[in-house]
Amino acid sequence: MPTSINPATGETIKEIAGHSDEDIERALTNAKLAFDEWKKTSFAHRASIMNKAADLLEERKNELARTATREMGKRLQEAVAEVEKCAWVCRYYAENAEAFLSDDPRDSDAKKAFVAYRPLGPVLAVMPWNFPYWQVFRFAAPTLMAGNVGLLKHASNVSMCALAIEEIFLDAGAPQGVFKTLVIGSSKVEHIIDDDRLRAVTLTGSGPAGAAVASAASNRFKPSVLELGGSDPFIVMPSADLEKAVETAVKARMINNGQSCIAAKRFIVHVDIYDDFLDAMKSKVSAMKIGDPMREDVDMGPLSSKQARDDIAQQVKKSVEEGATCVTGGKVVEGDGFFFEPTILANIPEGASARTEEFFGPVALVFKAVSAEDAIAIANDSPFGLGSSVWTRDSDEQEMFIREIEAGSTFVNAMVASDPRLPFGGIKDSGYGRELSREGILAFVNAKTVSMN
Ligand code: NDP
C-alpha cells in the first residue's frame, strides 16, 4: 500500500489504498470512452475547463502546497510558487493550443494541402515526486488541450498530491475519464503501456525508469517522451558579474532542497576568479539554515526520503574517498527527518564518480577551468545534457558556449528554469522529446497530411 511519510519528521502521514487490476482495466475503458467524446469538443470548451482548473489551483494553493511539503519536504514557499506556476501553464495552453494546432497549409501539386493535428488517444504520464504538481500539469495542460486524455501514475510517495490533481480536473468540469490518477506501483506500468487503448507515454524520472518505459513503448510502436536526470554545468568566466553569479549559483543548486533535474550541479569556474567564487559560495552555503520546511525563515528542508538522504550521503563519502575536498557541509543531520547539510565538493579528480553521476541533493561540485575551451570540455564530459547556464559578458564567449555546449538549453547570465513559453527537454542520457511551448503540444498529436484535389 503506498505510504506518505513526512520527510521532515519521519512520521507516516497516510497509507493510501492502491488501485487494483480491475480498477486499471476500468480506467483504460473509461479513458477510451472519454477520449471518443473529448476529441470532438471545441478548443473553446476545453479552454474553459483548463481556465477553471487554473482558478481552482489558485483558490486551493495553500492547501495544495501544504500537502506537497508534508509528503516530499519542499519548502512551503516553493510549494506555493509551484502551484501558481501550474495555474500559469493551464492558462497558457488554454490561450495558445488552438493556434499551435491550427491547420498548417503546405505547397504541393494538389489543389490544397495542409497538415491537420489530431489527438492520439489516452496518454500515460509516469511522474516523479520532486515537483509533484508542476511535472503533472506541464504534461496535462497541453495533452488535454490537444484533445487527448490523461492517465497519471505518480511517484508512490506523493499519492495525496496525485489524487488532489484528479480532483481539480473533475471539479473544473472535465468529464470522468479525461484525467485519471492511478495509485499503483511501477510494476503495473508495462501492462498499461502494452494495452491497445493506451496510445503514448511520457516519463519524468531516473534513467532506469526511463529505459523500462521507453522499451515497453517501443515494443508496441508508441511514442514516448523522456525527461530524465541532469548534471547541468554552470560556467563562470572572468567578465561575469561575480556577485550575481554566486547568488544565482547557490539558488540554482539548492532550490527544492537540491532535488531538481535542471539544478546547476557542476560549477565550472575560470581560474582567474576561482578562489573568489569558491569563498563567496562557501560563505553563502554554510550560512543556510536547515529545518522545518513549513517555516518561512528556513533555507533548506529535508531530502524527500530516507533512501534519498542515504544515497546522497554515500555519494559524498565516496567522492571524498576518491580524492575530492569537502569545502563545507558533507554530513547527515542527526535526529528525526531526512536532512543533509548543504555541501560543496571541489578538487574532484579525473575519473572520480562525481564527474559522471547525478547528485540529486544539496551538493555543489566545483571545477576549475583554464579557458573557455576547457570549460566547454568539462561541461560536455558528462553522460547528461539537460540544461546549461553560462556567465560571461564577452559576446564571443557567449556565442561559443551556445554553439558548443551539449544540452537541451543554454541560459546566458541567468539560471535555467522551465517556462510554459519555452521548450524544455534534454539530449544524451537526459532523455528525448520536448515539453512546453508549441513543441510540447506537438509531442502527442498525429501530424496528419491532407492532400485535396
Ligand atoms: P524514479 O525514476 O524511480 O521514479 C520516477 C517515476 O517512475 C515514479 O513514478 C516511479 O514510480 C516510476 N518508476 C520507477 N521505476 C519504474 C519502472 N521500472 N517502470 C515504470 N515506472 C517506474 O525516481 P526516484 O524517485 O527513485 O529517484 C531516483 C533518481 O531519479 C534521482 O536520484 C534522480 O536522478 C532521478 N530523478 C529525476 C527527476 C527529474 O526531474 N528528471 C525527478 C525525480 C528523480 P514509484 O515511485 O512507484 O517507484
* Per-residue pLDDT tens listing for the chain (453 residues): 889 999 999 999 999 999 999 999 999 999 999 999 999 999 999 999 999 999 999 999 999 999 999 999 999 999 999 999 999 999 999 999 999 999 999 999 999 999 999 999 999 999 999 999 999 999 999 999 999 999 999 999 999 999 999 999 999 999 999 999 999 999 999 999 999 999 999 999 999 999 999 999 999 999 999 999 999 999 999 999 999 999 999 999 999 999 999 999 999 999 999 999 999 999 999 999 999 999 999 999 999 999 999 999 999 999 999 999 999 999 999 999 999 999 999 999 999 999 999 999 999 999 999 999 999 999 999 999 999 999 999 999 999 999 999 999 999 999 999 999 999 999 999 999 999 999 999 999 999 999 999
What does the block give as the cell for 173? Answer: 468540469
What spacing in Å lies between the alpha carbon of 126 and ligand 1's midpoint? Answer: 8
Of 227, 341, 357, 435, which one is the catalytic site residue? 227
What does the block give as the cell for 373? Answer: 575551451
CATH code for 3-228+430-452?
A: 3.40.605.10
The residue assigned the cell 583554464 is: 370
First to last CA, the chain: 59
Judge whether 3-228+430-452 and 232-419 match in fold: no
pLDDT at 85: 98
Q: Is 427 helix (H, G, I), strand (E, B) or coil?
A: strand
- Write the residue with the smallest CA distance to atom 15 of ligand 1: 209
CA dihedral sign of residues 132, 138, 141, 145: negative
What spacing in Å lies between the alpha carbon of 129 and ligand 1's midpoint? Answer: 8
What spacing in Å lies between the alpha carbon of 134 and ligand 1's midpoint? Answer: 15
227 counts as catalytic: yes
pLDDT at 2: 86
Residues β-bridged to residue 325: 346
| CA–CA distance, 96 with 40 (Å, rounded to integer) | 18
**Torsion of the alpha carbons at 12, 17, 19 and 23, rounded to the nearest 10:** -160
- Write the residue with the smallest CA distance to atom 21 of ligand 1: 186
User: What DSSP element (H or E) covers 321?
Assistant: helix 306-321
pTM of the model: 0.98
User: What DSSP element (H or E) covers 152?
Assistant: strand 149-153
- Residues across the chain: 453
Residues framing ligand 1 (Cβ under 6 A):
126-130, 153-156, 185-186, 189, 204-206, 209, 212-213, 227-229, 261, 358, 360
Q: Where are the domains of the chain?
A: 3-228+430-452, 232-419
Asked if residues 181 and 155 have their Cβ atoms less than 8 Å apart, the reply is no
Q: Which of 3, 151, 186, 204 should be mutated for ligand 1, with most atoms under 8 A from CB?
A: 186
CATH superfamily entry for domain 232-419: Aldehyde Dehydrogenase; Chain A, domain 2 (3.40.309.10)
CA dihedral sign of residues 379, 314, 128, 214: positive
Ligand 1, residue 308: give the atom nearest the CA.
32
Best CA proximity match to 29, nearest among 250, 196, 269: 196
Asked if residues 113 and 451 have their Cβ atoms less than 8 Å apart, the reply is yes
What DSSP letter does each residue of 199-260 carry, written as one string? -EEEEES-HHHHHHHHHHHHHTT--EEEE----EEEEE-TTS-HHHHHHHHHHHHHGGGG--
- Which residues are within 8 A (CB) of 360 and not within 5 positions of it... i.e. 6 or more apart? 229, 258, 259, 308, 311, 312
| CA–CA distance, 412 with 398 (Å, rounded to integer) | 7
